[in-house]
Amino acid sequence: MTNASDLGARVADAPSDNFVYRVLPRSLWGYSQLARWDRPIGWQLLMWPCFWSIALAAGAAPAELGLTLGTAIFYLFLMFVGSVAMRGAGCTYNDLVDQDIDNEVARTRSRPLPSGRVSRFGAKVFLALQCLVGLLVLIQFNAFSIVLAIASLVFVAIYPFAKRFTDWPQFFLGLAFSWGALMGWAAIFGGFSWAAFWLYVAAVIWTIGYDTIYAHQDKEDDELIGVRSTALLFGDDTKAWLCGLYGATLLFLLFSFMAAGAGFFAYVGLVVAAVMLAWQILMLDIDNPEHCLKLFKFNTRVGAILFVGLMLSAIF
């Protein structure tokens, strides 16, 4: 049973029965909330472009490259650990930057920093530890991948400030959040290709779409405090914009698959993903925050379907 003091140590928009509250000691709850371990949807959405890229590259890799299934699985494991660590680091950094704003928004006021359950010094130490885990993962890859990953930090650094100077902060989130679409290919081939580039573009546009749905939860608070977003920009035309955004996502995924010579199952996954994205648009109610959150989370299933299709193509 959850008692009142337990509820006081949680954030308003986090699920109350998440495993972190059963596994971790209460003293670490605030740090787990900074990293959003109680909300795994974030690292899942960060991870899927990484997984797509590895599966796409595995299917395109020539025999002389010597890529084995075991190596591909090892890369997937590294991407999983890196996604959890770096998503947590990104959220911690974002909360440090946004502490004053979070204190003005009802949904975020109970987060660890604005509520005072974690100090800014403690958050900075925790940020450094998560970055260290990310670095340990990164050095397992080739030199090109390491340089590429370091380059992504430019977008990671800009994103928390984007809502202050543009109506398109979701675009900057996409630039940072989709970087794995380049990383997986680089890890296997040690370079770029059109297939990886189109995959990255698709992931960026997909991110703008699903995060617009997410941002509709906060639009009233955002408008009051002067924070900008595509949810406010699109307003009642959100469904029309999503048709364009999700349509472009599918088109660039198609370009990527064709450029990489992806097999039959990849296209099956693409068709299923198209149906799932269309269903989101049809069902969307931008004035229902709870419904927006559910549809936002639904995108991890879209990511999983695309990965399964690509992986089956690589194997068969």
C-beta separation of 312 from 265 below 8 A: yes
**Residue 154 placed within a domain:** yes
In which element (H, E) is residue 184 found? helix 180-189
**Residue 73 placed within a domain:** yes
Phi, psi (rounded to 5 degrees) for 139: -70, 0
48 falls in which pLDDT band (50, 70, 90)?
Answer: very high
Tokens 């591909």 correspond to: 72
CA-wise closest residue to 241 among 251, 256, 231: 231
**Residue 90 placed within a domain:** yes
Tokens 């089956």 correspond to: 312
Per-residue DSSP letter, 287: T
**Residue 31 placed within a domain:** no
**Residue 95 placed within a domain:** yes
**Tally of domains in the chain:** 1
- Tell me: the pLDDT tens digits for 267-300? 999 999 999 999 999 999 999 999 999 999 999 9
**Residue 241 placed within a domain:** yes
CATH number at residue 166: 1.10.357.140
Domain limits for position 158: 40-315
- Tell me: the pLDDT tens digits for 211-235? 999 999 878 777 777 788 999 999 9
pLDDT at 9 (0 to 100):
66
CA-wise closest residue to 158 among 140, 137, 175: 175
**Residue 186 placed within a domain:** yes
CA-wise closest residue to 145 among 188, 107, 183: 183
Q: Give the mean pLDDT of 5-21.
A: 65
CA–CA gap between residue 248 and residue 204 (Å, rounded):
10
Please report, as a single letter, which amino acid is at residue 99: Q
Residues whose CB is less than 8 angstroms from the CB of residue 81 and which lie 6 or more positions away in sequence, other chains included? 133, 137
CA–CA gap between residue 228 and residue 204 (Å, rounded):
19
Q: Which residues of 65-85 are buried (b: 16+ CB within 10 A; e: fewer)?
A: eebeeebbeebbebbbbbbbb
Percent share of the chain, pLDDT over 90: 68
C-beta separation of 308 from 76 below 8 A: no
The two three-digit tokens of residue 108, written as one number:
């975020």
Q: What SS3 class is residue 231?
A: helix
4 pLDDT higher than 50: no
The angle formed by the CA atoms of residues 255, 312 and 180, to the nearest 5 degrees, is: 55
- Tell me: the pLDDT tens digits for 54-66? 999 999 988 778 7
**Residue 16 placed within a domain:** no
